Amino acid sequence: MPSRYCTNKSNNMEIKNLEQVPEAVSQLYHKVEIIERLLSDTRYRAEIETDQFLTVPEAAKYLGLAIQTIYGLVSRREIPHSKKGNRLYFDKSDINTWVNQGRRKTIDEINEGAKVYGRTTP
């Protein structure tokens, strides 16, 4: 029987005779399982990423605010939002940025900023 081989770059698996085929098939099956899990995880992450827009009740729950408070923030244009027809939408990343913009510095951060300012001022 002529010698046949297959090279796999990750572990240089060579098949030189028929006795080695079951082991090679087992390794391939294992790798296919890993690929399927990775694809499944990727699809799940993609679903999460596309689920970034929140409705008013979802935004209220996410921020821990009352629905009426959300409407008040929208009417005063204090919270980033989008409007399509009669519906309001909130991009989760915009909401996170908006919340972080209101972050107060700690005493240590203020002191560090003062030190840097003192070093840069003549």
Alpha-helical segments (H) within the chain: 21-50, 56-63, 67-75, 92-101, 107-120
Give residue limits of the domains in the chain: 1-51, 52-122
Predicted pLDDT of residue 8: 47
Output the average pLDDT for the chain. 82
Whether 50 has a pLDDT exceeding 70, the answer reads no
- Higher per-residue confidence, 38 vs 44: 38
Count of CB atoms situated within 10 Å of the CB of 34: 9
The CATH class of the 52-122 domain is mainly alpha
Predicted pLDDT of residue 12: 62
pLDDT tens track for 1-42: 444 444 445 556 677 888 888 888 888 999 999 888 888 877
